[in-house]
């Protein structure tokens, strides 16, 4: 009889909790032939093997590059593993569930989980738990089908849901658990809703965690500045004091008068001087403080929402899976009156030729996405030097280039950058008389959209426009830009002058691996001779961004398919000016959405801090006008009183 083992871990990229149940022996590594193949360059091809020897579970380190540890103790060759031990391999920490029980007939029904394909390894989506949660009921921690069979209907009855047992009822629910959810909850709390009347479902304990993870991977440390406005404050719905004023106060208190004067000069002379933006650490420390003030810990539920259905009494049923402290999974139902969708970006977006390279070679170390953990790349460059190809020319590409420059300066090593752009960009995007500034084919703009699109005439114009006009306006206003910073432009000028930074143009035909392990980018030939170009590098870093389509999010894809929801001209959710998904209205129940899932609607900068705040304000105002439970209009007196409570750190 085969013995089963269950491994539970948190994906270091998406922060989702994942689980694998499989028979022994079980191999873990980067190669797709392993029982569990994981996309990390910190793992070896086959990193470790778990097998049963004389009734004892043993882990064998396969001479891995970064070793194996059990409960923090390094393994020398091999070591026994006990039930509930923590097994660490590279960035992965596995909770081992093994009681030495023989495989039963019921367990024999478990589908053999195949390792994810390299294409799957390169992305993270909310579908990631599908293999686990789709196992037969005998392998799960509940009795019966989940989501319940009733979810196949357009509307489920309360009787069907109550028969399931584990049902929670609450007026307000947000799904996502990130900054978008946090901002909506903050508005609800300030508008009068008690914390025990709100729930948030997401993978993270803190709303800023996923943003922190992705921004850190894209080389934005806490002391660097984010691309956000001074008064775009997720922790402060009034916007005053903004980050600039708070930074001035803090600097004056510490005696750092020079920086305080610099910040004051920036905010009082905008747009004629370099635009002020806040430091990353400053932003997320403020979010953390506000989360504590509004009782986020009692609102947040860590887990994954799997399906949403209308109920027959004008509400919504949400099937979700919760990870318990002991590593098991519980499956629950939650019924709410008002639902908010803030699911964010569904996955990393890899350029097709780079994804093809990963698929064909299985090499996760040489071709990297900027949002993946890749600090080892900079460590290798600092020690050995080398050449890096950068793809993309937005804010993330600029951060990667700055990090390489810093490594070059600190180490003294010969590090070259080949910046591959598809086409030249001699002049910036233009709308009427306004045109973006361009230098060295980089298009500069302080924020990701013109500021007038956030709260000025462009916002009003977009809201009033019909769908086809909106599409044209978004195309004219949008585009890939980076922040206009003096120090950043000096890096570009210095790199070009010294020859270690080179800008190239061309269309990629293929990416292959050289015999020495390097990666070769083949560019299509051009001109009369049609001579192709080969770029050989130690690493390629894809800085083209994150996936934005809603079909890559399993929850939204299921919702759109089940209810045949209309979409806008950008193939995103069709929403009203109040950010309501009107096609999901159910009696007195409402569904609202925010973030990139609404791009193409009445607001342009939907994925900015201010965009998330604006969506929250409009939707909560809309609920207040409908006299939704516990909500009260935030008139002048109440607003001033609530602001005073915020300023003093007192619970709303």
Domain end marker among 262, 285, 308: 285
Question: Residue 471 domain-assigned?
Answer: no
Q: Are 86 and 127 a contacting pair, CB within 8 Å?
A: no
202 and 333 share a domain? yes
User: What are the angstrom distances between the C-alpha of 66 and each of 88, 184, 368?
Assistant: 10, 42, 19
- Which residues does 500 contact at the CB level (< 8 Å), separation at least 6? 408, 414, 415, 416, 417
Question: Residue 453 domain-assigned?
Answer: no
Q: Can you read off the two tokens belonging to residue 1?
A: 């009889």
User: What are the angstrom distances between the C-alpha of 139 and each of 106, 293, 329, 457, 483?
Assistant: 8, 40, 11, 57, 51
235 and 328 share a domain? no
DSSP string for 558-609: HHHHHHT--B-TTSSB---TT-B-GGG-BTTBEEEE-GGGGTTSS-S-TTSH
Question: Residue 367 domain-assigned?
Answer: yes
Contacts 24+ apart (CB under 8 A), 573-577: 573/341, 573/597, 573/598, 573/601, 574/601, 575/601, 575/602, 576/602, 577/463, 577/602, 577/618
**Looking at 376-466, which runs of residues are DSSP E strands?**
386-391, 415-421, 430-431, 434-435, 437-439, 442-444
Give the separation between CA 584 and CA 566, rounded to whole angstroms.
10
Longest dimension (CA), the chain: 79
385 and 488 share a domain? yes
- CA torsion 192→197→202→207, rounded to 10°? 30
- Reduce the DSSP state of residue 34 to 3 states and report it: coil
Give the separation between CA 179 and CA 532, rounded to whole angstroms.
46
Burial zone of 568 (CB within 10 Å; 0-12 exposed, 13-18 middle, 19+ buried): middle
Q: Which pLDDT tens digit goes with each residue over 550-603?
A: 998 999 999 999 999 999 999 999 999 999 999 999 999 999 999 999 999 999
295 and 415 share a domain? no
* pLDDT score for 123: 29
User: What are the angstrom distances between the C-alpha of 17 and each of 7, 252, 574?
Assistant: 11, 44, 31
Q: Can you read off the two tokens belonging to residue 302?
A: 């860590």
555 and 604 share a domain? yes
Question: Residue 340 domain-assigned?
Answer: yes
* pLDDT score for 102: 37
Q: Can you read off the two tokens belonging to residue 60?
A: 């064998």
* pLDDT score for 136: 28
104 and 228 share a domain? no
Give the separation between CA 496 and CA 510, rounded to whole angstroms.
27
271 and 405 share a domain? no
387 and 400 share a domain? yes
- Structure-token match 């909310």, residue found: 126
* pLDDT score for 126: 28
* pLDDT score for 591: 98
User: What are the angstrom distances between the C-alpha of 482 and each of 216, 278, 419, 454, 516?
Assistant: 18, 16, 15, 17, 35
* CATH code assigned at 338: 3.50.50.60
Q: Can you read off the two tokens belonging to residue 441?
A: 């084919």
Q: Can you read off the two tokens belonging to residue 444?
A: 């500069």
Helix (H) or strand (E) holding 513: strand 508-513
Burial zone of 626 (CB within 10 Å; 0-12 exposed, 13-18 middle, 19+ buried): exposed
Domain that holds residue 270: 221-285
| Bridge partners for 68 per DSSP | 89
Q: Can you read off the two tokens belonging to residue 187?
A: 């508005």
Give the separation between CA 464 and CA 368, rounded to whole angstroms.
42
Dihedral pair phi/psi, residue 572, rounded to 5°: -110, 180
Question: Residue 242 domain-assigned?
Answer: yes
| Bridge partners for 208 per DSSP | none
**Looking at 262-382, which runs of residues are DSSP E strands?**
300-311, 316-323, 329-341, 347-348, 367-369
Q: Which of 450, 481, 100 is nearest to 271 (CA)?
A: 450
Question: Residue 628 domain-assigned?
Answer: yes
Single pTM value for the model = 0.82
User: What are the angstrom distances between the C-alpha of 462 and each of 432, 452, 459?
Assistant: 15, 11, 5
Domain end marker among 509, 527, 544: 544
Dihedral pair phi/psi, residue 199, rounded to 5°: -135, 150
State the CB neighbour count (10 A cutoff) for residue 301.
17
528 and 638 share a domain? no
611 and 513 share a domain? no
- Structure-token match 């686990």, residue found: 132
Domains of the chain: total:
4
* CATH code assigned at 9: 2.60.200.20
Q: Can you read off the two tokens belonging to residue 626?
A: 């409908």
Q: Are 128 and 16 a contacting pair, CB within 8 Å?
A: yes
Low-confidence ranges of the chain (pLDDT < 50): 1, 101-143, 528-529
Q: Are 426 and 558 a contacting pair, CB within 8 Å?
A: no
Q: Which of 598, 592, 588 is nearest to 618 (CA)?
A: 592
* pLDDT score for 485: 87
State the CB neighbour count (10 A cutoff) for residue 79.
17
Q: Are 441 and 421 a contacting pair, CB within 8 Å?
A: yes
Alpha helices in 154-279 (DSSP H): 158-162, 179-190, 209-217, 243-254, 257-269
- Among left, alpha and beta (phi > 0; psi -120 to 50; other), residue 121 is alpha
Q: Which of 47, 54, 106, 108 is nearest to 80 (CA)?
A: 54
Give the separation between CA 555 and CA 339, rounded to whole angstroms.
14
Question: Residue 148 domain-assigned?
Answer: no
Question: Residue 462 domain-assigned?
Answer: no
490 and 524 share a domain? yes
88 and 176 share a domain? no
User: What are the angstrom distances between the C-alpha of 477 and each of 242, 393, 509, 576?
Assistant: 26, 17, 31, 21
- Which residues does 55 contact at the CB level (< 8 Å), separation at least 6? 100
């Amino acid at each position: 009889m085969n013995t089963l083992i269950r491994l539970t871990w948190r994906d270091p990229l998406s922060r989702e909790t994942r689980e694998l149940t499989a028979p022994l022996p079980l191999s873990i590594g980067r190669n797709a032939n392993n029982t569990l193949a994981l996309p990390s360059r910190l793992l070896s091809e086959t990193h470790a093997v778990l097998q049963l020897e004389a009734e004892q579970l043993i882990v064998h380190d396969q001479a891995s590059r970064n070793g194996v540890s059990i409960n923090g103790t390094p393994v020398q060759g091999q070591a026994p593993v006990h039930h509930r031990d923590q097994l660490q391999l590279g960035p992965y920490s596995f909770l081992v569930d093994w009681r030495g029980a023989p495989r039963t007939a019921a367990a024999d029904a478990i589908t053999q989980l195949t390792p994810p394909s390299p294409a799957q390894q390169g992305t993270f989506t909310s579908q990631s738990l599908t293999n686990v949660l789709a196992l037969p009921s005998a392998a799960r921690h509940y009795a019966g089908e989940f989501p319940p069979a009733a979810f196949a209907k357009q509307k489920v009855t309360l009787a069907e849901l109550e028969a399931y047992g584990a049902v929670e009822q609450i007026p307000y629910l947000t799904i996502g658990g990130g900054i978008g959810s946090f901002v909506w909850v903050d508005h609800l709390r300030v508008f009068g809703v008690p914390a025990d009347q709100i729930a948030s479902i997401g993978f993270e304990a803190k709303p800023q965690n996923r943003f922190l993870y992705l921004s850190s991977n894209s080389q934005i440390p806490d002391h660097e500045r984010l691309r956000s406005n001074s008064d775009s404050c997720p922790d402060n719905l009034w916007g005053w004091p903004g980050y600039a004023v708070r930074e001035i106060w803090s600097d004056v208190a510490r005696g750092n008068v020079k920086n305080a004067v610099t910040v004051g000069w920036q905010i009082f002379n905008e747009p004629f001087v370099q635009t002020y933006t806040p430091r990353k650490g400053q932003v997320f420390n403020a979010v953390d403080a506000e989360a504590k003030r509004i009782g986020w810990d009692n609102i947040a539920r860590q887990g994954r929402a799997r399906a949403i259905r209308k109920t027959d009494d004008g509400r919504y049923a949400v099937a979700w899976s919760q990870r318990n402290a002991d590593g098991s999974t519980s499956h629950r139902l939650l019924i709410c009156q008002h639902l908010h969708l803030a699911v964010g970006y569904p996955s990393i977006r890899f350029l097709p030729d780079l994804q093809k390279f990963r698929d064909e070679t299985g090499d996760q170390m040489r071709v990297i996405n900027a949002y993946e953990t890749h600090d080892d790349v900079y460590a290798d460059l600092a020690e050995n030097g080398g050449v890096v190809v950068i793809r993309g020319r937005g804010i993330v590409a600029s951060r990667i280039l700055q990090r390489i420059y810093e490594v070059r300066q600190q180490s003294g090593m010969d590090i070259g950058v080949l910046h591959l752009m598809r086409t030249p960009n001699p002049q910036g995007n233009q709308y009427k008389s306004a045109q973006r500034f361009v230098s060295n084919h980089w298009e500069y703009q302080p924020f990701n959209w013109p500021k007038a699109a956030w709260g000025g005439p462009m916002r009003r114009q977009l809201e009033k426009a019909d769908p086809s006009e909106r599409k044209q306006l978004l195309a004219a206003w949008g585009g890939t830009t980076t922040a206009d910073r003096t120090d950043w432009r000096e890096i570009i000028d210095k790199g070009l002058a010294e020859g270690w930074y080179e800008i190239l143009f061309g269309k990629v035909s293929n990416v292959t691996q050289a015999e020495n392990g390097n990666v070769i980018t083949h560019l299509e030939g051009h001109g009369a001779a049609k001579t192709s170009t080969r770029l050989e590098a130690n690493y390629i870093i894809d800085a083209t961004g994150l996936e934005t389509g809603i079909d890559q999010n399993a929850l939204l894809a299921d919702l759109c398919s089940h209810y045949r929801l209309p979409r806008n001209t950008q193939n995103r959710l069709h929403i009203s000016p109040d950010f309501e998904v009107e096609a999901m209205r159910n009696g007195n129940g409402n569904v609202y959405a925010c973030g990139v899932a609404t791009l193409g609607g009445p607001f342009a900068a939907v994925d900015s801090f201010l965009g998330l705040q604006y969506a929250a304000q409009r939707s909560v105002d809309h609920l207040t006008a409908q006299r939704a439970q516990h909500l009260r209009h935030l008139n002048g007196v109440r607003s001033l009183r609530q602001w005073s409570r915020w300023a003093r750190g007192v619970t709303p």
